[in-house]
Chain A
Amino acid sequence: MASAFELRRRNQLIIAAAVVAVMIALPLGIKDVYIQNILVLTVMYAALSQSWNILSGYCGQISLGHALYFGIGAYASTLLFVKFGIIPWFGMAAGGIFAAAIALIVGWPCFRLGGHYFTIATIVLAEIGLILFLNWSYAGEASGLQIPVSGDSWTTFTFLRSKLPYYYFALGLAAVVWLVTYFIEDSKWGYYWRAVRENTLAAQSLGVQVFRSKMAAAAVSAFFTAIGGSFYAQFVSYIDPDSVMVFQFSLLMALPAVIGGIGTLWGPAVGAAILIPLTELTRSYMGGGGKGFDLIFYGAVIMIIALARPEGLLSLVTRTRPAPP
């Protein structure tokens, strides 16, 4: 049993390496900046959705407020860069740590809530964050913050025309989050989280430290979401509360995992690879008429996938396997 399990784990690593290799080579064949932009977003949402998946998929605590951590990451690095000249690489780390701290602080009361009460609490917390940023004059209120771009530079992580540096960073982030998930899956915490997800009471009686498990999952999840937020701020080089902290972002982080397969290693990546190009292409090629066709199409696809494949699209190609012992 153990050896079959380890074999499967090794296969996962090989698949991952192959996928990353293909993704590294992909932009060499695709020169169109618009499509490169879609690739950046796809890989970014794969990373974000995987981060979300750690808390909501593996640990079963459904959050629809991850826009809070995304926004904190975006604002932390941008404020440090614009106001203090601290390069975004440090800002990114600071944003990640700060978001993790916030996740622990709000997690302390929130993790005593169950099910929908928890989910609504996450929505409400993200809305509070949005309103605070809209009224925080130091952070530019609604006018947001502009990241000065003088030229191509890895030090300040700004590039004029090229999307490739952003793409490779996002790919790296997605790979790291994937690896973290991969190792956690087979760790003590991974077992704890699944136990908490499947049956909180039973987990408790078996000696799983339920509360600490949830807190750990929230911190890891928030950390990587904030890194994604910092990345997005650098990528767009302009942020305002309405474009980084709205509810829509929370949904967009959850959707790929749900579409692909929630609580699975590959679900978020598969979901993002389908959903993000779909979102972008329907807007670009169906949205120009103002007739709402893009909305009808996009909504119908989400609805149909959710209904026809409740386990996620991943289940089309993999037989549902029991979780490792």
Chain B
Amino acid sequence: MFTIKPVLSSLMRSRTGPLLLLLQIVLSVAIVANAGFIIQERLALMQRSSGIAEQSVLSFSLYNFGEKVNLPQQLKRDLEILRNIPGIKAATSTNMLPLSGSGWSDRFIDGPDPETAKSTPGFAWYLGGEQMVDTLGVNVIEGRNFRADELNHSITDSGMKALMSAPLAKEVFGEESAVGQIMYQGSDNQIEIIGVVEVLQGAWVDSDQFDYSVIQNIELNENRSNQFMVRADRRDVPALEETIKQALRAENPDRVIRNFNTLRELKDMSYAFHAVMAGMLSIMIILLLVITSLGLSGMVMFNIQRRTKQIGTRRALGARKRDIVGMFLVENWLICFSGGLLGGLLAMELGSQLMTLFSLPMMGWQWPAMTVAGLLVITTVAVLLPARKAALISPAIATRTV
């Protein structure tokens, strides 16, 4: 029905317009493919499971500035108070907050001699009480959690027990079970792995070792400054800030209690840059498509005006309206395909440049392909409107001397 050859030859003759369209499509494909890929990558990052009941965990920090305060006693009291507040299901002190962008990281070694032992990858090192597992809502899939009577209060104590996140356990022990393994810190400190939790992310969302975590049975109680996490029903969380402040101030007024955040809020802050990046790129893609399709419509309209007589003659010679519309569509598709091909190549090249420059993973060919497909649809719509207008040109035009 549509004959490509005459369209092609007319394209070859009026070079500038089609060339501009081609250029525009090449650039658009390069941008949209790469931006789409980056967006998808960022969204995937944000959708990883943290293993935590993020919205049900409220965190805050507490600083004792009172002069004569018995810190270990105070911590014990504070935890008791927290655990007795109605609505709080579990509470723990912690050395770091998941997903917060700041925290402790460490490594274990697999033998007592630091010279010969092999080191594990770095992991987020959570130190807290026996309720940490329940507070976070992480899932112990193997072994067990530690008990209250197993708690240590200093990192040099003996009887260290730890839970590992499953990805870390797999990385360190392979198919072997992690439970029962002994790890070391320095030559003296032995740590027994007593359990594996399914998923627990660390503090740094951009870390390669984000899924590697360890929870150890240490409730640090010699610091003026402490962080806490409490678990409650999601609905009860908003009211808790005031309740907690009042309860803890009633016990001892000489402290600053602040930084109340749910872990979801911390997560959102940590991912804010990624979210903004994804948002900006999405807006960019939308605007780009709008501009491209508007520009395309404008050019086609101009083409039609310029070729009014030609179209009239074609009509006089028996072309049906759909033949005229078809002519413009074929023209558009030709440009779109060739532009898409070139643009796809440029996009892949750009992608590989980005990869080497910015440690981005390599973009698959699907991205440019999808972009070309999308552009095809959009440009078809953009061409269809002016093309239908062109089809209305009266054959009588041909007989007038214009």
Q: Do A and B bind each other?
A: no
Query: Which residues of A does B touch, CB under 8 Å?
Result: none
